[in-house]
Amino acid sequence: MHPLFLVPLTIVVDQVSKLIIRFNMNRGESFEVIGQFFQLTYIHNPGAAFGFNLGSPLIHTVISVVALFFLIYIYRNFEEEEVSGRYGISLVLGGAIGNIIDRIYLGEVVDFFDVGLGSYRWPIFNFADSFVTVGVFVLIFIHSSGDKQDLRDSD
């Protein structure tokens, strides 16, 4: 599978999941999946990741689009054989685009995964956030291992 295939796949998974939540739950409503540890809680996040607020929704959208172009630049600079890096960036791109779509159409991002114990809860997030996080971890792993050409053919 070509790494760029992940971009539309992650966007579809993200946007379909958000549509399911938006049309089946009311804002602020929670649904226990695994007790209180894992719940679906429908919120709109006007801020950035983890609820950080950088200003108006327009500022968040502009910053997101600029970051998107930076990610495309990074992708294009990976060597063809640096497959893991391309997969990592593709996950980040797909997740970023998923949240940008929300910002453009809703002015906010739909979040719904709610994980934690009692009052100790992780900020509510969505699939796009998860894809970005996994992609970043892939890139960190590649960088920390010093093996940028990790999947080069061993011919």
- Please pick, among 14, 102, 111, 114, the residue that the annotation labels catalytic: 111
Q: Is position 111 annotated as part of the catalytic site?
A: yes
Task: Mark the ranges of the chain whose per-residue pLDDT is less than 70.
Answer: 48-55, 146-155
Query: pTM of the predicted model, to two decimals?
Result: 0.84
Percent with pLDDT over 70 in the chain: 87
Report angle CA 79, 85, 91 to the nearest 5 degrees.
130
Q: What was the pLDDT predicted at 50?
A: 61
| SS3 label, residue 43 | strand
| Domain residue ranges of the chain, discontinuous segments joined by + | 7-145
Catalytic status, residue 129: yes
